[in-house]
Amino acid sequence: MVRASLLAALLLVLAACSRDGALGPFAESQVPPALTPRFYPPEGWVWGFIGVGDKPVQRYGVGSTRRVPTATVIVIPGYGETAEMWFETASNLIDDGYTVWILDRAGQGGSGRYVAPRDLGHVPSFDPDVAALREFVRVVVRPAPDTPLVLLTHADGVVVALSAVRAGMKADGVIASSPQLAKADPGRRLLGAVRRSDVPPAGWKSWSRNTPDDHAAGATHDPWRGQVGQAWRTGNPDLRMAGPSLGWTKAYEAASRLTETGAAQTRLPVLMLNPTKDASELCRRLPQCRVEPILEARSALHLEADRWRDPWLKAITAFIETRPKQDG
């Protein structure tokens, strides 16, 4: 029944293409003329959608090696990112012999939106992200029994991955790139039940061409990779994302605290690359977790200059290659 409902959702949205601030999903983005081929979609890349229940559908993409893949990698981007920003990394991993999937986050990238305006990041909780990831692995990815499945997350994406694993999703490892948790602030109360959560915070500004790119924002040393996300958003208005809603921030805080309290139950191997202080503390509480620093690198490691990105990629492939397929 679940598989039939997911197929029905897919058929309904395949023809959907959001325009003019609509809430529907969006695929087949146009490659910006400013980008060089290394940032293009991997050869043979295809898009799809997955829907769970009555929640807005989420977009995913997939590409694979021409050889028999030695691992399956699912990329879970951080807030505000689109799958397109991971194309270069996906191509690198495909060349290494892996099948690579990228699942756009709920209410972001090419996924359907919960509220207008379209560039306001909003989810009622992280539960839709977690549920979609679990069903995505079970119904769409369906990794081969003898092929390791590794989740590659960025920033707050680690919360989604670890929450899904804690909820029973099978995987063979998690790589957390610049992982971060919402900072605990006991002096500030979360939103009350009466106050609307699907609205921007005070001072929120819609996305514009003047919004700093990742290089200008200090997320990478590399001016070329730093403008990749901005280029995709400029050429594809449906991908644009500004700051999060009050509700998204509340959801992130709640999911972060649950991730911390459930650390002991998350027993698969975890590699954290340049975690924040809170994420490092979480790593110490996880049964199988280690931190690997990439000194002086900035937070968007997948968009960093080669000096930092090359060791980042090597750490990823080394972790994947040492993942024996786990029983069960």
Instruction: Flag whether 265 is in a domain.
Output: yes
Give every CB contact of residue 5 below 8 A, 6+ residues apart in sequence: 51
Instruction: Flag whether 328 is in a domain.
Output: no
Instruction: Flag whether 192 is in a domain.
Output: yes
Instruction: Flag whether 9 is in a domain.
Output: yes
Instruction: Flag whether 327 is in a domain.
Output: no
Over its length of 328 residues, how does the chain's per-residue pLDDT go in tens digits?
333 333 333 433 343 344 445 899 999 899 999 999 999 999 999 999 999 999 999 999 999 999 999 999 999 999 999 999 999 999 999 999 999 999 999 999 999 999 999 999 999 999 999 999 999 999 999 999 899 999 999 999 999 999 999 999 999 999 999 999 998 765 555 545 446 789 999 999 999 999 999 999 999 999 999 999 999 999 999 999 999 999 999 999 999 999 999 999 999 999 999 999 999 999 999 999 999 999 999 999 999 999 999 999 999 999 999 987 655 4
Instruction: Flag whether 241 is in a domain.
Output: yes
Beta strand extents in the chain (DSSP E only): 46-50, 58-63, 71-76, 98-103, 149-154, 173-177, 270-273, 289-292
Predicted structure pTM score: 0.92
320, 92 in Cβ contact below 8 A? no
Give every CB contact of residue 132 below 8 A, 6+ residues apart in sequence: 50, 52, 55, 58, 103, 106
Question: What pLDDT is stored for residue 37 in this prediction?
Answer: 97
Phi first, then psi, for residue 35 (nearest 5°) are -90, 145
Question: What pLDDT is stored for residue 189 in this prediction?
Answer: 55
Q: 196 is in which domain, residue-wise?
A: 2-321
Number of compact structural domains in the chain: 1
The CATH number of residue 229's host domain is 3.40.50.1820
